[in-house]
Amino acid sequence: MKKNEQVSTPVIKRLPRYHRYLEELKNMGVIRISSKELSTRMGLTASQIRQDLNCFGGFGQQGYGYNIEQLYNEIGNILGLSSKFKAVLIGAGNLGHAVATHLRFEDRGFDLIGIFDSNPAVVGQQIGNLTVLSSDELEQFCLNESPSVAILCIPSEYADATAKKLVSLGIKGFWNFTQYDIATNYKGIAVENVHLGDSLMTLCYQINNIDNIDEETK
């Protein structure tokens, strides 16, 4: 580790991407790579890669480049992927169900330990190795297990109240799939707002303006 300064958000957001490319290279059996070659693969400049990595320390070697497995592990450490933050999923509808089964939480610093829904038709359902519990049990569950993260897959109108309640129960981070914006500058609370609807609208804009997009790339 090197600097004590605040690392900028754009840099942080690029780390998972580096991690992905390095994982792929690792799986392909590649041993080492230079910032130059990685940059052409990723569509960045070598300079940016070196500068991003240098926010955290020097992981490469002059004349050699980066050892892929080592760099992969280093970035994993920076992201803290070996954490085991306990997570609860609130809302086990279609989306919640998919989120619970689709993401590899264990590889990304989380341990999904509880799923809750208010719909009696869903309560009791088995998802992965968890049984959906009633929302009525959420409070007691939090007192017992002290999860640190909540994944919100509930209707937007309940988001604000639910988030407030969860904060009072000790939740420290939200992965928010509702349309509601959870304030990102809440005291000591971490928030990732996903907002799939926004993404879809952005795509709509892009398609409507493809000519301009081309213009931009020139």
Partner DNA sequence: CAAACTTGTTTAAAATTTTAACAAAGTATA
Partner DNA sequence: TATACTTTGTTAAAATTTTAAACAAGTTTG
**Chain residues that interact with DNA, rule: CB under 7 A:** 2, 8-11, 34-36, 44-48, 50-51, 53-54, 57-66
Binding-site partner at residue 214 among a second copy, DNA, none, CB < 5 to 8 Å by type: a second copy
**Interaction with a second copy in 134-163: which residues (CB under 8 A)?**
148-149
Distance of alpha carbon 176 from alpha carbon 192, whole angstroms? 6
Q: Which residues contact 75 (CB under 8 A, 6 or more apart)?
A: 15, 18, 19, 22
Pick from 17, 19, 14: which is nearest to 73 by CA?
A: 19
Query: Considering beta carbons, is residue 10 or 120 the nearer one to DNA?
Result: 10
Nearest distance from residue 57's CB to a second copy, in Å? 16
Query: Considering beta carbons, is residue 12 or 31 the nearer one to a second copy?
Result: 12
Binding-site partner at residue 217 among a second copy, DNA, none, CB < 5 to 8 Å by type: a second copy
Nearest distance from residue 102's CB to DNA, in Å? 28
Contact 159, 96 (CB under 8 A): no
Amino acid at 27: N
Nearest distance from residue 4's CB to DNA, in Å? 13
Backbone angles phi, psi at 173, to 5 degrees: -150, 150
Q: Which residues contact 105 (CB under 8 A, 6 or more apart)?
A: 87, 111, 112
Query: Considering beta carbons, is residue 10 or 188 the nearer one to DNA?
Result: 10
Binding-site partner at residue 131 among DNA, a second copy, none, CB < 5 to 8 Å by type: none
3-class secondary-structure state, position 89: strand
Pairing of strands 130-131, 149-152: unpaired
3-class secondary-structure state, position 133: strand
- Which chain residues interact with a second copy by CB under 8 A? 6, 12-13, 15-17, 19-20, 42-43, 78-81, 83, 85, 93-95, 97-99, 101-105, 108-110, 148-149, 172-173, 175, 179, 181, 183, 185, 187-192, 194-208, 210-217
